[in-house]
Amino acid sequence: MALNYFTGYTLSTLALYFLNRGKTGNSEQYDSKPEELSVAETQTGTPLPVVLGRTLLKKPLTIYYGDFKAVPYTETYAAHAQFSAWPLVLSLIAAYISAPVTGHQATPATVTTSVHVTVHTSGGAGTGSGTGTGQASGAMVKDDMTGPLLNSLFSWLLMWLINGRNLKTTVQKGFKYYLGYQQLVCWSNQGMRLRAVYLGQNKVWEGDESRENHLSGPLVIPIHDENLFGGPDEGGGFVGELHVYLGGENQMPDPWMQQQMQAESVQEELRGLTPAYREFVSVVVPTAYVGKNATIPELWLEMECIPNRLGLGAIGEDANPAEVQYEIHVNEDWGLGESADTVDVDSLLAMGQQLKTEGLGITVSISQIVAARQTIDAICNHIDAVRYQDPQTGKLTYKLIRDDYATEQVPLLNEKNCSHVMINRLDWQETIGQISVTYTDRKAQYEQSSVDDNDPAVIEINQGSKAPKSYDYPYFTSAENALWAAKREAAQQGYPLATGTIEGNRTLYAIRTGHVVRLDWPAYGYSNLMLRVTDVDLGDFIDGTIKLEVIEDVFGLGKTEYGFSGSTNWQDPKKFPTGVQEYRFMELPYELMPDKDSYIYGMAAKPDADTQRWTIWRQTATMPMNSTNSTTQWTPVGKIIYDYPEFGDAIDMNGFEIIDISGLDRLVSATFPNGSPNIEIARKGGKVLLLGNELMAWSSITKLPSGNWRINGIIRGIFDTVPVAHGSGEKLFFLDPGTYANVTTGGPVCLAGNAVTETYNITTATAYSTEELNPQKAVSVTTVHRSERPSPPGCIRMSSFGVSESTKIDNPIGDISFSWSHRNKVLQSYGAISQDDTTHYFTGQLFELPEGALYRIQIFVGGIFVAECTTIETVWLYTWAQRCRDSNNLDGETRIEICTVQNGLVSYQLQKRTVQWKTPTMIDAVIDESEVLSRLALWGEPLQLTVPASEYSDLFQVAYSDMALFVLGTTAGTLTDKAILARDGRYIVPDGRIAVVKDKSSYEIMTMDEYYTFRSHYVEQQSGGDVLYIYRL
């Protein structure tokens, strides 16, 4: 009798069942231990956001978490057959009994069975089918029916095993994590509303719930979605409740938080005290399933708060800017808390009504501590308004810059009331052909978007050059408002507006900032020149002069009349160019030009107002000096006023003060509203300056009352550079896009793997004349494969005796441990990486050592090279014994240089640390630790050891921070080469152990390596000196 495949499968399954019946019957797989809970720590003093309008808050502050647990997540897989073989078996048994005993049929009997199998798991079911032998066809005698009957019995047994769930396995697929927590979202206010909630960037709730509807209790949002974060095979899901408290005077503490605050783990003095956080919007999540990652799920809340103290209401889904300004002034929780009497409310009402008509709303989210003036001025920049303190009322007054006047009604300035007029007009080459505006796009989940506006006429005038300029208007949330701002700026930047200063008598006393005046000045041929006042200096009553700073009003361009001045002696002044005074050339790093070929760019500051264009000249080994690039965009340049140290904060929010050499005013347009140092802007790496040879990212620039400028929000030593010291007067060049130019007509100066030496020069030009080439200004540059070189390591940290994880240690004592972080400009080329970063800021990705790279450490003592080592690790120990072995010049400065080496190329700049090592001081030589303790008891003081005078030394003191140590060893009968003189006159042979004193009652035993050197005050037959001992094996 032959067995078909189904019968064979049945027999093997049955055999496996009996072989494993003594076991559990399940196949279980277990992962490693559950993850440790990871929650971002909220720093004390972190400000809570203020919402004025409607926005999405993405980073609530976690102020409590608890009740954390991990439960293994398993899935059981089992098979189930939708077939019963028992009726067939019974029929075959009956047929077998009634059949003849012997004989065979001429035609073989066949048996068929159709089986449908369903596989069940804890996460769902799957189906399958198979066909095997079972039903006999044509069988008439027992000999022919024996095989089909046995097959049917085996089939029935298999179905019985399957349906009994004996064929199953359980697989563990990670852990499910449970956690409860509380988060603060933002400040609350009247009219606060919740519009949407996102968990893990998935919208889980949408609606419109106001604070007034939930004054005594929370809005409870139940969420039951085990697949919210991808399900069992990814991030799991969320099952629990969000208790959203919108604030208010009657708000009560959350019951779950009250229970948590009763726990014994809470500090006794805080136990039972549960804040209600009535001033804030907060979210409490009682213990819930938070997914398969041991962390708090990312929570976003779309909040709306429309200030309405003036009764102006909202503008669409945004706040009225006038209401926002007023709220900042009078709010006593987070605002200025000023009296309403200090603000001209009528001017705000007039402004608010006009903005409502224009549909120009804003949303302001204040998420960091900034000066109120910065936010107020930023709002004015958005809506094109000015503010000033009216000298007649003493109140702060606001005015929109609009076409809201009639020519004949504005004050007339002429020779009767003005004594001096100075008017200058820009050149057409200084106009801007393209304006780009970035804004917060509500339709794109409040991410940044941009709109552009072009002026074809200006582009044509400037021979195809767009001369683009960008503005940030983050308080706008719609493309329509952003485009309005772009067109406004294009109208102002796309025409050579006149600016000037006017001095007049006291009849001008009523003119204020933002007012429009018209100028009739026959000497300049002006009639009805419409000017907007930008600043008013009322002077004093003794002099009686009022000074106005003005700019030509864009709304009055068609109203001005230009006439002949009546002079017949006027001649066109020929303007000759001035040569560049501040310029330089630089081989670009990979981060600025992501290419391994070598690119060199030139930078030049505008020398004066008349000089309009600069041209780069290039001479190669095979080509004479030829002009290669010409532009009217000048590099903004300044110089620092004070010394800027090497070892400051890697991210310097305060920055430094500089003097304008040329072009700093153009940088204001690229600044976050009114100079607020938002470090996120610097992090993106688009705003770069070059100070000496150090590249820095910067956030904002602000003009100071002194006329100087302050650069804020600086990231030091970015790309392939490291921080260095800078002296007063050192020049800095701002690498603003379009203001530095390639020395070629396009492309690199040489390909990767090659180097060249070339000579460059710069000439200038006006509309009338071009500067002659001056050989004295020629600069020779040799490329150094800069873009091919690896980046130097970052995040250098030093630890020594008594000092840990410091950027710099000036006077270490004992061993020095160095650590650093990898840098890989190819894999992590986006954005500006801080010297303190250990992971990529935007992706969280760990830095990697470039393939084939290693770190080289070189040591110099007194300027002389003494040692070198290499490693691929990010830690390195330089022991004091090794330092003594490398050089016996213990008084010389030690310089450690750390660089990255790849393919034979060393990083463009090195990390350097210069130290003046201090030699440890021996307190005494002893034979055991009991003598150490007895001497500590006698000589120990709170901060130092004071050792009395003896036959061999004067009284001396050693601070614990200076590594006071006892040398342990054995007594020697006489002085030997290895013996040390102790305080009591004994000679001790060191055994390699030292007891390093930590305080007046404790010490730590350490081991000296060969050449370990220490200082002793005990000198035989001499008192008052000292001697150095070198430990030798």
Residue 769, pLDDT score: 87
Residues 121 and 15 both lie in one domain: yes
Q: Is 470 helix (H, G, I), strand (E, B) or coil?
A: strand
Q: Is 171 helix (H, G, I), strand (E, B) or coil?
A: strand
Residues 627 and 762 both lie in one domain: yes
How is residue 750 written in tokens?
């040489």
Q: Which of 148, 172, 196 is the last residue of a domain?
A: 172
Q: Which of 400, 431, 464 is the last residue of a domain?
A: 400
Residue 887, CA atoms < 13 Å, CB-side half-sphere: 18
| Phi/psi of residue 507, nearest 5 degrees | -70, -10
Q: Which of 371, 400, 429 is the last residue of a domain?
A: 400
- Using alpha carbons only, how large is the chain's radius of gyration in Å? 41
875 DSSP β-pair partners: 819
Residues 551 and 415 both lie in one domain: yes
Q: How many CB atoms lie within 10 A of CB 316?
A: 16
Q: Which residue has the tokens 């106005």?
A: 548
Rounded CA separation 1019/985 (Å)? 10
Rounded CA separation 838/823 (Å)? 9
Q: DSSP secondary structure string, 784-800?
A: --GGGSPPPPEEEEEEE
Rounded CA separation 690/577 (Å)? 26
Rounded CA separation 364/673 (Å)? 11
DSSP 666: G
Residue 283, CA atoms < 13 Å, CB-side half-sphere: 27
Residues 254 and 331 both lie in one domain: no
> Which residues have a Cβ under 8 Å from the Cβ of 41 and sit 6 or more positions away?
none
How is residue 342 written in tokens?
């200090």
Nearest to 336 by CA among 700, 61, 50, 59: 50
pLDDT digits (tens, 9 = 90+) for 576-587: 899 999 999 999
Pairing relationship of beta strands 447-454 and 434-441 according to DSSP bridges? antiparallel
Contact in structure between 506 and 544 (CB atoms under 8 Å): yes
Rounded CA separation 731/726 (Å)? 10
Query: Which segments of the chain have a pLDDT < 50?
Result: 1-2, 5-6, 22-30, 106-107, 109-139, 672-675
> Which residues have a Cβ under 8 Å from the Cβ of 228 and sit 6 or more positions away?
199, 200, 202, 204, 236, 237, 238, 291
Please indicate, yes or no, if residue 848 is contained in any of the structural domains: yes
Q: How many CB atoms lie within 10 A of CB 267?
A: 7
Pairing relationship of beta strands 964-972 and 921-926 according to DSSP bridges? parallel
Taking each helix axis from N to C end, the angle separating 345-358 and 321-330, rounded to the nearest 10 degrees, works out to 150
pLDDT digits (tens, 9 = 90+) for 259-311: 999 888 888 878 888 889 999 999 999 999 999 999 999 999 999 999 999 99
> Which residues have a Cβ under 8 Å from the Cβ of 692 and sit 6 or more positions away?
724, 726, 730
Nearest to 849 by CA among 878, 880, 870: 870
How is residue 555 written in tokens?
């709304």
Residues 765 and 649 both lie in one domain: no
Residues 184 and 272 both lie in one domain: yes
Nearest to 794 by CA among 735, 839, 748: 839
Residue 962, pLDDT score: 94
Residues 630 and 762 both lie in one domain: yes
Supply the range of the domain harboring residue 81: 5-23+74-172
Please indicate, yes or no, if residue 578 is contained in any of the structural domains: no
DSSP 37: P
Exposed/middle/buried for residue 977 (C-beta within 10 Å: 0-12, 13-18, 19+): exposed
Residue 425, pLDDT score: 79
Q: How many CB atoms lie within 10 A of CB 145?
A: 21
Q: Is 506 helix (H, G, I), strand (E, B) or coil?
A: helix
Residues 130 and 189 both lie in one domain: no
Rounded CA separation 285/283 (Å)? 7
> Which residues have a Cβ under 8 Å from the Cβ of 325 and sit 6 or more positions away?
348, 376, 379, 398
Write the single-letter amino acid at 837: D
Our CA angle for 319, 323, 325, nearest 5°, is 110
The number of domains in the chain is: 8
Residue 27, pLDDT score: 44
CA dihedral in degrees (777, 782, 788, 794; nearest 10)? -70
Q: Which residue has the tokens 């804004």?
A: 439
Please indicate, yes or no, if residue 568 is contained in any of the structural domains: no
Estimate the share of the chain in helix, then strand, then coil, as percent rounded to the nearest 5. Answer: 20, 40, 45
CATH number, domain of 858, equals 2.60.40.10
Cα torsion 998, 1001, 1006, 1008: sign? positive
Checking 440-443 for CB contacts under 8 A at 24+ apart, the result is: 440/55, 440/363, 440/474, 440/475, 440/476, 440/477, 441/477, 441/478, 441/479, 442/54, 442/317, 442/363, 442/477, 442/478, 443/478
Cα torsion 217, 218, 224, 226: sign? negative
Pairing relationship of beta strands 731-734 and 637-640 according to DSSP bridges? antiparallel
Cβ-count burial 904-922 (b if 16+ within 10 Å, e if not) = eebbbbbbbbebebbbbbb
Residues 15 and 113 both lie in one domain: yes
Please indicate, yes or no, if residue 577 is contained in any of the structural domains: no
Q: How many CB atoms lie within 10 A of CB 946?
A: 12
Please indicate, yes or no, if residue 163 is contained in any of the structural domains: yes
Please indicate, yes or no, if residue 35 is contained in any of the structural domains: no
Please indicate, yes or no, if residue 413 is contained in any of the structural domains: yes
242 DSSP β-pair partners: 221
Write the single-letter amino acid at 474: P
Please indicate, yes or no, if residue 744 is contained in any of the structural domains: no
Residues 596 and 460 both lie in one domain: no
Residues 620 and 643 both lie in one domain: no
Residues 140 and 16 both lie in one domain: yes
